[in-house]
Structure 1
Amino acid sequence: MNRIEKRLKELEKENKKAFITYMTAGLPDMKKTGEIIKIQAEAGIDIVELGIPFSDPTADGPVIQEASYKSIQKGTNLKGVFELVAEVRKDCEVPIIFMLYYNTILYYGVENFINKCIECGVDGMIIPDLPFEETFEIKEFIDKKENVPYLIPLVSPVSKERIPMIVNEAKGFVYCVSSMGVTGQDATFHKEIKNYLEEVKGISKIPVMMGFGIRTAKDVEKYIDIIDGCIVGSHFINIMEKSNYNIDTIKEYITAFKAELNK
């Protein structure tokens, strides 16, 4: 069973919500990235979203754009991130999802990318610039292999009539973008957020996660009975950078967030 599915089924049995973080691979360096993934697992994180730096991250706000730029300057590339995940997998089973742009996959080679994900232990992928209608190429290789990473679908408040189509055969979870625009906005959710989340939850056969603009568990308190968990990205990166990637600070944030989320 895919690690994402396994973990989310465990949470469902425990009647708990999932907490997912986003971090940029290669910051502050590759070795510390691996350490932070493991520290998060120890602190109780449910899934780690690992961003592959890209020169034009169109879905991301200034915090993640800056993190991506810094990581590229340090020489981070997909080959190195695969090596990192393979190393982490020696003693850590936390679900890992790649968040990356499709050009990165095309450059590496679609089939080669899927094969390497299987080999290294990548559990899922989020590709924000790949619309549903263009997923056929990558799905061709996913459908004919085993132990493949799940292609996590993104839906937004403007997806509307497209939502059933997008989530119909999805696996893992549905990533619900909670605001219009890019990542990192301060908990300014779409005015129809509640209706939108309820609509997705009513259609989806898999867990529904809320992301974009979340900083604390209190930010999602109004929607906790609808969603199955939430994702924090830009705020988590800010916390790490301001503390100089202090392990205790990272642990404390995750532990406190999870406790508040499941109180």
Structure 2
Amino acid sequence: MSRITEVFLKKSNNVLNVYCTAGYPELNSTLTVMQALQNHGADLIELGMPYSDPLADGPIIQESSSIALQNGMTIQVLFEQLKDCRNTINVPIILMGYMNPILQYGFEAFCQKAVEVGVDGLILPDLPEYEFETMYGAMIKKYGLDFIFLITPETSETRIKKLDALSSGFLYAVSSSATTGNDKNFAEVEKYLQNLQQMHLKNPIMVGFGIKDHATFTAACKYSNGAIIGSAYIKALSSSVDIETGTKNFLQNIIK
């Protein structure tokens, strides 16, 4: 059983997954940020691998990726930073990124190294379903990594069920067909989440995009197992002098 699955067995709702960009705000901030997230209530850590053309990300995460790249963050550097992370980090770690730099690194080598350093799952928004089924899924499974697909309000029921069958860990329900960081009217999102709940899918549902405070976190969790926060946390980090204090204050306002 994966660490991700264990989280949902222990805590079936209000699960909090927080996204942070590796190498932000400083190159060597990665583990400090991860430790602070674990210390103050994050159930899952989604670690973004910075990329120059992050198609699913809004301006805040794009800027953090740009800064991280300028700082010198690469996949190789990230793996070096994570090699001893399991000495102190107990929560599941999910790597979120894009195929181009992973293919340059070597897909199987990437999966193997990810497992070696303690990674539990992958979110790769630009890996198509067909290529997952025919090329990469078997390799991901070989190394015991969970793989999380994204769905949107426009995804058909047939496709949702297919992506649910292919996913493990959880299913990432994007609150709308937009980039990260945009405000959402969660009254409009509610029906979408209710429909997902009524489908009795295999995987837990985590809601992402537009969750930024206690009110939106609570609304997102009403008809799901939990929520994913990214842009709002990156923004909080950018205005914090101290990572530990900034993370504590931010998460206390989410899960109060």
- TM-score category (smaller protein): over 0.9
Unpaired runs of 5+ residues, structure 2, are none
Q: Partner residue of 1:8? A: 8
> What is the root-mean-square deviation in Å for CA atoms of aligned residues?
1.7
Q: Partner residue of 2:63? A: 66
Query: Equivalents in 1 of 2:182, 2:217: separation in Å?
Result: 14
Query: Equivalents in 1 of 2:33, 2:138: separation in Å?
Result: 34
| CA-CA distance at 1:220 after TM superposition | 4.1
Q: Partner residue of 1:126? A: 123
Which residue identity does 2:11 align to in structure 1? L
Q: Partner residue of 2:235? A: 238
TM-score of the superposed pair, with normalisation by structure 2: 0.93
Alignment of 1:173-212 (within 5 A): 173-188=170-185, 191=188, 193-201=189-197, 202-212=199-209
Alignment of 1:119-158 (within 5 A): 119-136=116-133, 137-145=135-143, 148-158=144-154
Query: Equivalents in 2 of 1:152, 1:223: separation in Å?
Result: 18
Equivalent residues, number? 253
Distance 1:87 1:31, change over 3 A: farther
| CA-CA distance at 1:200 after TM superposition | 2.3
| CA-CA distance at 1:251 after TM superposition | 1.1
**SS of equivalent residue, structure 2 residue 18:** strand
Which residue identity does 1:139 align to in structure 2? G
Which residue identity does 1:224 align to in structure 2? C
Query: Equivalents in 2 of 1:117, 1:65: separation in Å?
Result: 23
TM-score of the superposed pair, with normalisation by structure 1: 0.90
Q: Partner residue of 2:210? A: 213
The 4+ residue runs of structure 1 with deviation greater than 6 A are: none
1:98–1:125: 8 Å Cα contact kept in structure 2?
yes
Percent of matched pairs sharing the same residue: 35
Query: Equivalents in 1 of 2:59, 2:224: separation in Å?
Result: 27
Moved more, 67-76 or 242-251: 242-251
